[in-house]
Amino acid sequence: MKKILLTLSVFALTTSVFAQTNEPTTSTETETSSSDYNKWSIELNGGVNKYQRPATSGYYTTTPSPWNADFGVRYMFNNKFGLKLDAGYYNFTGHDSSLEFDTHYYRANLQAVANLGRIMSFETWTNTIGLLGHTGFGYGQLKSDNAAFTDKMFNFMAGVTGQIRLSNRVALTGDFTTILNAQQDYAFDGASQVGGRGFGGILFQGTVGLTVYLGGKEKHADWVTLDSELKKEIDALENRLATIETGLTDSDQDGVPDMFDAEPNSMAGVAVDTKGRTIDRNNNGVADELENYFETKYGDKGTSSTAGMDVKSLINDGYVNVYFDFNKTQPTTESASGINFLVKYLKANPSASADVVGYADEIGNADYNKNLSQQRANNVKQILVDAGISGSRLNVVANGEDTSVNKDSKQARQIVRRVTFKIK
């Protein structure tokens, strides 16, 4: 018993110290708890009791003996520790074969509360069952209907409370508590004086009751897991980081991250402005860098027909391609620039039309690869149509396998899984 009392006393003192120092040392949890859950509750309980000592020979009660009741107000600092102020009343009457007596015990206590359910991670297997531990000191009085005395004393109490959550506002509770009285001068039956010093009185109680949770938040601290709330915050931060990482991807490799790129599918290798848009000052649908190259190499500056013919030759000679991963029918992200190049050319030359020519590598059945090349060409055509090019200007051609490279070379096969264009 002495070891139990020492353990409970240390627990009470430790909890009190924690209550005083909790706010500055756990700012993150305090901020979270203040905004995420309720802290106040009221408790009403009733049940039976049994005193062990002191007692007068010939006086005794039933086991257990009715009745007792208590009312308390509890405040939780966080989801694990709190304080409770409560008051209780106990009635002791003699059993049928006992000498007659009728006494009353009153008490008031300030107790530290530990949410054992959260401390022991009940949430890993239930969201309905909880467990509280409570211990503290208080003041008590014993009075008798048969004698005019008031026995004043101090007490120490400790107990456990099982919880069943009925809703976010109400919980059903069952409690077992031991009360130790110090400086108790009379026996519980009031029939004799014992002149006790120290913790000489022992009283047990068992109750059932209801806890009502107060506040405007969804849940009370009894049922909140800060680890889950922290995980939500971490997941949100990770999602934000993933969004930023995705946004910093440079799909068209023009030096401008996608999140800032107004044209994330610009043609590889051509100059762009600070927003990732292809530089096309004369708005003819052809990048100025390519236009300058052809004008320098093949014709005079300002001769648009020459530049137009050279761009057509560039497309027809296979310099503009759309590539595919192995056995895939949708183009790779990097190939968007090739499609975009043709879109701009066809919009700048409304009388032109184009063959959309699909290819596959030599891995697999020839008939299967023929169909694969057809699907690839169809999908590229659909992208062109979605980009504003009339389907009547586009003719799909399935050329099947391209045998121009070594089929045993994985790297070489990448360049024949493609769609090319022929301007007409």
Q: Which 3-state string (H, E, C) describes 157-225?
A: EEEEEEEEECCCCEEEEEEEEEEEEECCCECCCCCCECCCCCEEEEEEEEEEEEEEECCCCCCEHHHCC
Q: Tell me what pLDDT residue 296 has.
A: 59
Confidence of residue 265 (pLDDT cuts 50, 70, 90): low
Enumerate helices (H) and strands (E) in the chain, giving the number of each. 9, 12
Q: Tell me what pLDDT residue 277 has.
A: 80
CATH 2.40.160.20 corresponds to the domain 2-223 = yes
334: nearest Cα among 416, 258, 272: 258
Lowest mean pLDDT among 5-9, 41-45, 257-261: 5-9
Confidence of residue 229 (pLDDT cuts 50, 70, 90): low
What's the gap between Cα 42 and its chain centre?
30
- The domain 237-423 is placed in CATH, from the list 3.50.50.60, 3.30.930.10, 3.30.1330.60, 3.40.718.10, at 3.30.1330.60
- Which residue type is seen at 39? K
- Which residue type is seen at 189? D
Average of per-residue pLDDT across 131-138: 98
CA-based angle 125:131:137, to the nearest 5?
Answer: 160
Every domain range in the chain assigned CATH 2.40.160.20: 2-223
Going through 28-80 in order, the beta strands assigned E by DSSP cover: 40-53, 65-76
Every domain range in the chain assigned CATH 3.30.1330.60: 237-423
Confidence of residue 328 (pLDDT cuts 50, 70, 90): very high
Q: Which helix (H) or strand (E) holds 397?
A: strand 394-401
Q: Per-residue pLDDT tens for 62-73?
A: 999 999 999 999
